[in-house]
Amino acid sequence: MSESRLKNSIINVSSGLVYRLVLLLINFISRTVFIRVLGENCLGLDGVFTTLLSMFSLAELGIGQAITFYMYGPIAEKNISKLTVLVQFYKQCYRLVGCAIAVFGILLIPFLPKLINLETDTGYNLIVIYLLYLVNVVVTYLFFSYPQTVLTANQKQYVINHINSIFAVISGVVEISVLCIWRNYINYLIVKIIISIIKNVILAVVSIKRFPYIAKNTKERLSPYEIKKMFKDVYAIFVVKLSSQLFNSTDNLFISAMFGTVFAGYNSNYLMIINAVYGVIGTVIYSFGASVGNLYASETKKKTEQVFSELNFLNCWISCVCTVCLYQLLNPFISLFWSDKYVFSTFAVALMCMNFYMVSSLYTLFDFRQSMGLFKYCIYNQFFAAIINIVLDVVLGKMIGISGLFLATVIANFTVAVFPYAKNLYNVGFEQPCRNYIIKIFKGYVICLLSCVITFLVCKNFPTTLLGFVEMICVCCVVPNMMQFILLRNTDEFKNTVNRVKGLLKHS
């Protein structure tokens, strides 16, 4: 990676990590107040409606990801006219997306009673609550999403991260104040919408100021051939996104329908923490996305594969540490700061963490496939696994309860595994065999499992107190890092990463 690409990536990573940490802290405080003021029924509604509306992002169809890829070439060539055409096309697509989300969201209203399963009345009109969640999603797509993509494609993700960090604090303070003063769910949601609109307006203004061509109009249009080619990629991304949403979103909906909306709220507590950790890893890995696109457009495939190996090594290392922390700390954290009644079984948490590692350790692979434009390959593997997931949700949910839903996700995810994607990336993208990469992935599974077992054995007699929790954190930080250092210190990836860090420190 060139110095400028690496510098932009590091800035994006560090700003992204700050944003994720700020967001996690604010979300924790806000959720704690939310639970105490509004109770578990409203928590359950928040979990179900948030999950449901995250599925409407499917209406985006992968347009943003595809157009971001098509921007890399014109950005490298400084072709402003081409970028203007792409942005204008993107803007038109997103307006249609916003309208589609609004229509499908409204059509879903008659089915809400099937998904909401509460034993006691919340005192709020469920349709009004749902429509407020819907409005918050729709306005973003209708007016504000497209300028931010230009920042991302130009390796300026840190600008978005800085603004998001500031507004995470503002949003948290205002939302907590509204909850404490009015103790009203509807007022809370209205304030969230207003802050979201203000934030997106500012992001749009900043984007246009840095890249004025965003606001330009042109009579030029993409050719029918370009549109056809782009929408082939869009279709491929859509299938993958659909599969991903079926994996990640159906559990909460099945929990609500089968076991009660309150339990969906309990699960949303776990999801808030797990998704925050996903976000941290994604920030580190996906912050390199624009740099990878630039790298692939300007360097050899051998050089690109070398960078992939180093980033994948870093990805698996971080995923292992995070998995160990989640497995050991999730239940003590929820028990300490919220309540024992919100805690799931150790078996359920273990299944969540298994799925977490399988997904998060592949972030580098997904990032390179996307940044290299390999959209159309292996698109149906994950789709079939998603269908398996839904079938197993019903079967295993009835057999063994809520844990069955998490087991279904693990089984379905493992049926996809890494083989088709790894083969595609190496055979098509790098034009190399993928055997060594597969071995590294399974070596990572073994190291992560050993780290979890050792950490559990060390921590099993620690009390669930604040001091005991701090002691668990220390063990979770030491064991997986020590295990990986001992077992991986002689690998080329470890040596190359150490040398790269030394070089950065020298020039800092």
Q: What is the pLDDT of residue 95?
A: 80
- 437 in any annotated domain: no
Q: What is the pLDDT of residue 376?
A: 66
Evaluate whether 273 touches 330 at the Cβ level (below 8 Å): yes
Low-confidence ranges of the chain (pLDDT < 50): 1, 3, 59
Range of the domain at 43: 1-232
Kindly give, in sequence order, each residue whose CB lies less than 8 Å from that of residue 179, ignoring residues fewer than 6 positions away.
33, 34, 37, 38, 188
Task: Give the Cα separation of 259 and 262 in Å (integer).
Answer: 8
- 292 in any annotated domain: no
Residues written for the chain: 508
- 98 in any annotated domain: yes
- 214 in any annotated domain: yes
What one-letter code names the amino acid at 277?
Answer: V
Kindly give, in sequence order, each residue whose CB lies less than 8 Å from that of residue 235, ignoring residues fewer than 6 positions away.
61, 62
Closest by CA position to 427, among listed 384, 383, 372:
372
Q: What is the pLDDT of residue 7?
A: 62
Q: What are phi and psi of 417, to 5 degrees?
A: 45, -155
Q: What is the pLDDT of residue 453?
A: 96
What one-letter code names the amino acid at 259?
Answer: F
| DSSP codes, 54-87 | HGGGGGGTTHHHHHHHHHHHHHHHT-HHHHHHHH
Q: What is the pLDDT of residue 291?
A: 61
Task: Give a three-class secondary structure readout of 211-240.
Answer: CHHHHCCCCCCCCHHHHHHHHHHHHHHHHH
- 479 in any annotated domain: no
Instruction: Count how many domains the chain has.
Output: 1
Q: What is the pLDDT of residue 423?
A: 82
Query: What is the chain's Cα-based Rg?
Result: 23
- 207 in any annotated domain: yes
What one-letter code names the amino acid at 23?
Answer: L
Tally DSSP H helices, then E strands, for the chain. 20, 0
Q: What is the pLDDT of residue 101?
A: 83
